[in-house]
Structure 1
Amino acid sequence: MAFSGESYPGTVKERPEETEGFTLNHAMMRVKDPEVSLAFYTGVLGMKVLRRLDFPEMEFSLYFLTCLQDGDTPPEDTGERTAWTFSQRGILELTHNWGTETDPEAKYHNGNDQPQGFGHICISVPDLDRAIAWLDSNGVDYVKRPEQGKMKDVAFIKDPDGYWIEIIEPGRLKGLGQ
């Protein structure tokens, strides 16, 4: 029998037919300085920029990033790659409102300060110890190291804008929450 999802009060057991094909494509976070953020996400977390979309009339740019896997082949043609990007799963959209990089007052709420809201994104890695060594060598700012706190084998780091990023190795989490 196929997995049909866990059931809790408020969940709908049967997926509405009208939602067939719906896919969570991306989550968006605003960034103060795209050069600094892109260096972090591409250089430290290994993500690739799939597309940049500029909107001069509204003075902002969008950067769509993901962790490409072996076999992922984004199209070379920009129009085709744009459509391909919006058909994927696990995309991170960084939004840059022009001018924030030079505005000393510009700062975004990280979602974890009060009042809380958005919490974090998560990157799963094949080897947590190796990933932590890499992050350490890049001087990342930790919220929580994997050996700290009650929840072991889970790390939280901060990006240049203070957003939290959870770092996990899926195989280590089999007993989580039990």
Structure 2
Amino acid sequence: MAKSSLNIDEVQSLCAEPDPSTKDYISHHTMLLIKDPRKTLDFYSRILGMRMLYEAHVPALSCSTFYMGFAKAEDIPKDKAKKLEWWSMLSGCIEFRYKYGTDTDKSFKGYHNGQSDPRGFGHIAVRVPNIDDAVKRFELLGVEFAEKPKQGPAYIKDPDGYWIEICSGGNAVKILSEYGSQLS
């Protein structure tokens, strides 16, 4: 097994104190390219419980973008202008970008999911109250698993093959400790 060339002290020294000018920065969204919005939108809403937060169709660029995340229906403004303002202030969204024609092009094999060489993107994560209950639900719904949980998280696959970690916040420290992680 390879050993890390970094130690905890070095990691801490590499992280600068944030500049005061960045105090209002947030992580707004992560973008995933998708082949078929019909499958993706169904999966993320019906299987994971996300809602459509905002969408934009841009024929001049031959694409549509769909922003999804966890929100209460009553919190999503109905008025388009208010909805855009509300959405622009959110954090933790996922943008699904659909390039027109990928769903009907028989020769299009899909996008790289980061799980085969060359590796890169790993996964997104969704925290659930109880992993076992979530796993049972996913099994009933026929969701494909990349890894079933042994003593930690489960990993499921979305319609494009992207991995989604299903984790529970309560057991993170226990799991990391069992793997011999040095917590800082």
TM-score, reference length from structure 2: 0.86
Aligned residues: percent identity?
A: 33
> How many corresponding residue pairs?
166
Q: Which runs of structure 2 are paired with 1:48-127 in the superposition (5 Å)?
A: 48-69=51-72, 73-106=75-108, 107-127=110-130
| 1:69 positional shift | 4.9
**Counterpart residue type for residue 135 of structure 1:** F
Give how far 1:105 is off: 2.4
Match of 2:133 among 126, 130, 134: 130
Match of 2:171, SS state, is helix
Letter in structure 1 aligned against 2:174:
G
Q: Partners in 2 of 1:44 and 1:87 — Cα distance?
A: 25
1:34 CA drift (Å): 0.1
Report the equivalent of 1:9: 13
TM-score (norm 1): 0.88
What is the root-mean-square deviation of aligned Cα atoms in Å?
Answer: 1.4
State how far apart, in whole Å, the 1-side matches of 2:72 and 2:130 are.
16
Distance in 2 between the 1:68 and 1:126 partners? 16
Equivalent residue, structure 1, for 2:161: 162
2:143 is matched with which residue: 140, 145, 149? 140
In 1, Cα distance between equivalents of 2:36 and 2:56: 16
- Compare the two structures and name the one with the higher helix fraction: 2
Aligned to 2:4: none
SS at match of 2:96: strand
Counterpart-to-counterpart distance in 2, 1:118 and 1:86: 25
User: Structure 1, unaligned stretches of length 5 or more?
Assistant: 1-6
From 42, 49, 53, the counterpart of 1:39: 42
Secondary structure of 2:103's counterpart equals helix
In structure 1, C-alpha distance between the alignment counterparts of 2:93 and 2:18, rounded to whole Å: 24
- Distance in structure 2 (CA, Å) of the matches to 1:69 and 1:145: 29
Structure 1 match to 2:182: none
